[in-house]
Amino acid sequence: MKTYAKTAIGAAVLGTTLAAGVLIGQAAAYQTHMHNALDALRTARTELQASTPNKGGHRERAISLVNQAIDETRAGIDFARD
């Protein structure tokens, strides 16, 4: 009976450890800061697009750079997800 109890306890500990590892992996996969940055970049793009266009081309350049930053942020999220 003692062998059975030790095996059952060992299996329970192993199962708990594996389950915790999966949950930690999922939590790490959702990258809060990267998603927050993506939201902030989208807000910045919206504000730039709403501003008046007479900025000597700087507004358009800023929009282009924000679009590039959005693409890079998405790529970083996708990279870490795989």
The residue extents of the domains of the chain are 1-30, 31-82
Higher per-residue pLDDT: 10 or 67: 67
Q: Rounded CA gap, 29 and 69, in Å?
A: 20
Residue 30 has what pLDDT? 82
- What does the pLDDT look like over 12-69, one tens digit per residue? 666 666 666 655 555 556 899 999 999 999 999 999 999 999 999 999 999 999 999 9
Q: Please tell me the predicted confidence (pLDDT) of residue 71.
A: 98
DSSP-assigned letters across all residues of 46-58: HHHHHS-S-STTH
Helices (H), 1-82: 2-29, 32-50, 58-81
Which tens digit of pLDDT belongs to each residue from 68-79?
999 999 999 999
pLDDT of residue 12: 66
